[in-house]
Amino acid sequence: MKKLIIAALLVVGVSTFAQDRKERPQRGDMEKMTPEQRNEKRVERMTKELNLDAAQQEKLKQFYADEAKKREAMMAEMKDKKGQGREMMGQQMKATEAKMKEILTAEQFTKWKSNQDKMRERMQQRMGERQGGGMMGDGPRGGADMDN
């Protein structure tokens, strides 16, 4: 009987773990796309979420194309200047936000900003989960229990 219960728990545990992996199936598809296809997908999603007009869509397409070129140059530059990556990324985020303010209406910008904040929260949460709860410094003693 104990073996049956253990086997059942094992099956349930494995199946729930497998389901967690299927949570974001579209991510693999995004990596296979060309930069142009990714940008098109982003514009489609934003059009649906923010109800963009044709002029806004064209501006966004151009902006994303320019942004992709800048990102490639920035990545090459970051390899040369280690340690300045966060600062450069912060500057890029501010520039993106300023450009979005120009393209979107006030209401659309507010909704876009809210979506960005939610996405950032989810990303930070996932990064925390990847690092795991057993990392040093997470406990009440702040990693001091290494000596035990």
Contacts of 85 (CB under 8 A, 6+ apart): 78
Q: If we measure between CA atoms, which residue out of 68, 41, 51 comes closest to residue 111?
A: 51
How far apart are the C-alpha atoms of 130 and 135, rounded to whole Å? 10
pLDDT over 70 percentage in the chain? 74
pLDDT attached to residue 99:
93
How far apart are the C-alpha atoms of 96 and 60, rounded to whole Å? 11
> Could you tell me the pLDDT band of residue 87, with boundaries at 50, 70 and 90?
confident
Residue 15 has pLDDT above 70, yes or no: no
27-55 residue pLDDT tens = 666 678 888 899 999 999 999 999 999 99
99-122 residue pLDDT tens = 999 999 999 999 999 999 999 999
- Print burial letters for 35-50: b (CB count within 10 Å at least 16), e (below 16): eeebbeeebeebeeeb
Whole-structure pTM value: 0.61
How large is the average pLDDT for residues 75-83? 75
